[in-house]
Structure 1
Amino acid sequence: METNGDVVSDSAVKVYHYISGRLVSLKVPLGGRVSKGEVLAEVDPSTPGSSFSLNPVLAPISGTVLSLPAAVGSSVGSGTAVAEIGVLEDVQVEARIPERFVGVLRTGLTASVALEAYPKVTFPASVVRVSPIVDPVSRTKTVRLAFDRPDGRINPGMFARIRLNTLAYPDRLIVREDAVRTDSEGTFVFVVRPDSTVEKRRVARGVAVDGTAEIVSGLAEGETVVVEGAAVLSDGAAVRDIGARKVSP
Structure 2
Amino acid sequence: MQDTFAETIPPVGLEQHHPVKPGGDDAGHGHSEPSLASHNDGPPPVKRGRLLIYGLGGLTAAILLAVYGVVDRGKSEDTLVELTAQEAIPTVDVIKPQVGVTGQEVVLPGTINAFFQAPIYARVSGYLKMWYYDIGAHVKAGEKLASIETPDLDQELAQAKANLGVAVANYKLAQLTAARWQKLLKSDAVAVQDVDVKTGDSAAKQAAVTAAQANVDRLQALEAFKRIVSPFDGVITARKTDVGALINAGSGVGPELFAVADIHEMRVYVRVPQSESADITNGMQAFLSLPQYPGKKFPATVATTANAIDPVSNTLLVQLTANNPDGILTPGTFAQVHFELPARPDVVRIPTSALLFRQDGLKVAVLGSDGKVEIKPIRAGRDLGTQMEVLAGLTPTDRLINSPPDSLLAGETVHVTGEMAGKASAGNTEVSAR
Could you tell me how far 1:229 is from its partner in structure 2?
6.9
Q: Which amino acid aligns with 2:235?
A: T
Cα distance in 1, alignment partners of residues 139 and 229 from structure 2: 10
Does the 8 Å CA contact 2:115/2:264 hold for their aligned counterparts?
Answer: no
Deviation per residue, 1:16-59 (Å, 9 max, x gap): 32355665653321110111112223456678xx9998822221
Q: TM-score normalised to the size of structure 2?
A: 0.46
- 1:62-141 aligned at under 5 Å gives the runs 62-68=233-239, 70-72=240-242, 73=245, 76=248, 77-79=250-252, 80-141=255-316
Does the 8 Å CA contact 1:19/1:78 hold for their aligned counterparts?
Answer: no
Greater relative CO (CA pairs within 8 A, separation 6+): 2
Cα distance in 2, alignment partners of residues 25 and 198 from structure 1: 83
Aligned to 1:161: 336
Give the alignment's Cα RMSD to 1 decimal: 3.9
Cα distance in 1, alignment partners of residues 370 and 229 from structure 2: 79
Cα distance in 2, alignment partners of residues 28 and 178 from structure 1: 61
Does the 8 Å CA contact 2:286/2:339 hold for their aligned counterparts?
Answer: yes
Cα distance in 2, alignment partners of residues 124 and 194 from structure 1: 50
Aligned to 1:15: 120
SS of 1:108's partner is: coil
Aligned to 2:377: 202
SS of 2:141's partner is: coil
Q: Which runs of 5+ in 1 are unaligned?
A: 245-249
Aligned to 2:19: none
SS of 2:275's partner is: helix
Cα distance in 1, alignment partners of residues 384 and 247 from structure 2: 49
Over 3 Å counting, the alpha-carbon distance change for 1:104 and 1:209 in structure 2 is: farther
Deviation per residue, 1:107-134 (Å, 9 max, x gap): 1222122111221212222211212333
Over 3 Å counting, the alpha-carbon distance change for 1:64 and 1:203 in structure 2 is: same
- 1:5-84 aligned at under 5 Å gives the runs 5-19=110-124, 25-43=130-148, 55-68=226-239, 70-72=240-242, 73=245, 76=248, 77-79=250-252, 80-84=255-259
Aligned to 1:247: none
Cα distance in 2, alignment partners of residues 148 and 122 from structure 1: 12
Over 3 Å counting, the alpha-carbon distance change for 1:3 and 1:178 in structure 2 is: farther
Could you tell me how far 1:183 is from its partner in structure 2?
5.5
Could you tell me how far 1:143 is from its partner in structure 2?
1.4
Q: Which amino acid aligns with 2:111?
A: D
The range that moved more, 94-103 or 27-36, is: 94-103
Q: Which amino acid aligns with 1:26?
A: W
Does the 8 Å CA contact 2:355/2:403 hold for their aligned counterparts?
Answer: no
Q: Which amino acid aligns with 1:94?
A: Y
Aligned to 1:144: 319
The range that moved more, 130-139 or 81-90, is: 130-139
Does the 8 Å CA contact 1:196/1:239 hold for their aligned counterparts?
Answer: no
The range that moved more, 212-221 or 121-130, is: 212-221
Rg larger for: 2
Over 3 Å counting, the alpha-carbon distance change for 1:143 and 1:181 in structure 2 is: farther
Cα distance in 1, alignment partners of residues 402 and 124 from structure 2: 64
Length, aligned pairs only: 239
Q: Which amino acid aligns with 1:78?
A: S
Cα distance in 2, alignment partners of residues 242 and 21 from structure 1: 84
Q: Percent identity?
A: 23
Does the 8 Å CA contact 2:302/2:320 hold for their aligned counterparts?
Answer: yes
Could you tell me how far 1:60 is from its partner in structure 2?
0.9
Q: Which amino acid aligns with 1:208?
A: R
The range that moved more, 163-172 or 142-151, is: 142-151
Cα distance in 2, alignment partners of residues 99 and 63 from structure 1: 36
Deviation per residue, 1:60-99 (Å, 9 max, x gap): 111111223x343365531143222122221232212233
Q: Which amino acid aligns with 1:210?
A: L
Over 3 Å counting, the alpha-carbon distance change for 1:166 and 1:178 in structure 2 is: farther
Does the 8 Å CA contact 2:118/2:259 hold for their aligned counterparts?
Answer: yes
Cα distance in 2, alignment partners of residues 239 and 20 from structure 1: 86
Q: Which runs of 5+ in 2 are unaligned?
A: 1-105, 158-222, 421-434
Could you tell me how far 1:3 is from its partner in structure 2?
0.7
Deviation per residue, 1:156-205 (Å, 9 max, x gap): 33321121012332243122467556666554223367999853202244
Matching of residue 215 in structure 1 with residue 390 in structure 2: yes
Cα distance in 1, alignment partners of residues 229 and 419 from structure 2: 67
Cα distance in 2, alignment partners of residues 229 and 81 from structure 1: 63
Could you tell me how far 1:102 is from its partner in structure 2?
2.1
